[in-house]
Structure 1
């Protein structure tokens, strides 16, 4: 994980050690995976005792669920805000939605990897809630695609498939992005936006 961006995701809102515990859990899951990380690892990373950790979160699965809930909430908020501030045309809205998503991946690279690779370890109820939260973000992209197809901006006959492909493409950035790589944050966001519009068979602006 040394080549990835910092994993701090949850801001300290004054609720005791909760933020420190969740950020330590994210780091442990990102470094060792869900099975490899222990509650003792999390407690040590948070600078708290094991018994205090269990007071906050009785199980490792609950820790993972809470970390992923925070990640999804922030991702959804970023994308929705970007779409609301974009122009009225579908291409502009898609471009800004992709840029916002890429920004989240860059800022929270470890969280994106954990959300992709460790979700299978959630309890059924937590997994269902996570899927519903992810569906809300996906729905934003699907709505833009539908708008673009209806208005003739996007010519793809595979609207929903294209939306899913775009989301998968952006999430995969977390596995290869390096902060010292050849692309700046803005260049990476623009690259991914162009790829997304190409998938939708939209004319690209010069």
Structure 2
């Protein structure tokens, strides 16, 4: 079978209300630990406690399964950021701090999903890649609007709206590469630290 481990169909079939959590969790772990090419559909099916044919019934290729894992991760991230912003103040500085802390919290609490999102995205191509890019663009748009609002209000001194936003997102996304729960920094301290760094990137004014 090819590297994408394709079955005849090329689109994810409807689940009909079936709980796919065991499959998604097994796939997420496999992709995080073994990478896209190292993980096999057979091993994922075994870890999920299902048959290979049943796995292919819902995810006709390994590409589709990776897309499913990444879409789920992005959905959880969007929900967490939205919740944080709902409780934040109106100032761009407050909103950026809340959004960054939410993103970092997600990266720590769902480390495997964050690792897969950061390292395995490059294996998606064509329509699958376009689908995920669209989802990621929504997250970037949230941060970019905060940056734009901060520039307009005079809270942020940066004039590089898009580049500053990308730098902030990268700051959040790469936390799983170095954070360890057994380290000196607690989850909360890491989130606060990254938020401070993000505000420095956009040139947040003190006081």
Q: TM-score, normalised by structure 2?
A: 0.89
Alignment-derived partner of residue 35 in structure 1: 37
Q: For residue 123 of structure 1, report the CA deviation from its aligned partner.
A: 3.4
For residues 96 and 75 of structure 1, what CA distance do their matches in structure 2 show?
13
Cα deviation 1:3-58 (Å, max 9, x = unaligned) = xxxxxxxxxxx944511011101111111100011011101110112122112211
Q: For residue 81 of structure 1, report the CA deviation from its aligned partner.
A: 2.0
Matched, 1:106 2:108: yes
8 Å Cα contact 1:198-1:204 kept in structure 2: no
For residues 30 and 19 of structure 2, what CA distance do their matches in structure 1 show?
16
Q: For residue 181 of structure 1, report the CA deviation from its aligned partner.
A: 1.0
For residues 60 and 97 of structure 2, what CA distance do their matches in structure 1 show?
41
For residues 15 and 36 of structure 1, what CA distance do their matches in structure 2 show?
30
Root-mean-square deviation (CA), in Å? 1.6
8 Å Cα contact 1:30-1:110 kept in structure 2: yes
Q: TM-score, normalised by structure 1?
A: 0.89
Structure 1 counterpart SS, 2:174:
helix
Paired residue for 1:178, among 168, 180, 197? 180
Cα deviation 1:123-178 (Å, max 9, x = unaligned) = 31011010011010011111011111101000112121111000011111111110
Structure 2 counterpart SS, 1:180:
coil
8 Å Cα contact 2:30-2:44 kept in structure 1: yes
Following superposition of structure 1 onto structure 2, how do residues 79-118 of structure 1 map, counting pairs within 5 Å?
79-118=81-120
**Gapped runs of 5+ residues in structure 1?**
1-13
Alignment-derived partner of residue 49 in structure 2: 47
For residues 117 and 101 of structure 2, what CA distance do their matches in structure 1 show?
19
Alignment-derived partner of residue 170 in structure 2: 168
8 Å Cα contact 2:157-2:205 kept in structure 1: no
Large movers: runs of 4+ above 6 Å: none
Give the length in aligned residue pairs.
193
**Gapped runs of 5+ residues in structure 2?**
1-15
